[in-house]
Structure 1
Amino acid sequence: MESEDSVKHQLEELQKHLGKKQKFEEAVSSLKSLLQQKYQLASPSLRKTFYTAICRVATVLKTRYTAPGFWNAGLGLFEQAELLVSDPYEKEHLKGCVSQAREELHLEDNPTQVSQPAQNSANGGYLFEGRLTVDPEPPQPQWLVQSNLLTTAATLFAAESSQGLAADDTSRENAANMLQDLLNRLEDAVPLMLSDGPVPHKVPPASKEVVAKLPVIALTEEILTKLGKDAECSICKENLALNDEMQELPCRHTFHPPCLKPWLDEHNSCPICRYELQTDDHVYESWKEREKEAEEERKGAENAIRGGEYMYV
Structure 2
Amino acid sequence: MASEDELRQKLEGLQKQLGKKQIFEQAVFSIKSLLLQSYPSASPSLQKLFYSVVCRVATVLRTRYTAPGFWVTGMGLFVEAEQMVSESSEREQLRSCIAQAKEQLRDLETQSDVSEAEQNRGNRGFLFEGHLTVDPEPPQPQWLVQSNLLTTAATLFTAQSSQGQDGNSNTSESATNLLQVLIDSLDSDVPLILEDGHVAPRAPPASKKVVANLPVVTITEEIFAKLGPDAECSICKENLVVSDKMQELPCQHTFHPPCLKPWLDEHNSCPICRHELLTDDHAYESWKEREKEAEEEKRGAANAVRGGEYMYV
TM-score tier by shorter-chain length is 0.3 to 0.5
Larger % of helix: which?
A: 2
Structure with bigger RCO (C-alpha 8 Å, 6+ apart): 1
Name the TM-score, length of structure 2 as normaliser.
Answer: 0.39
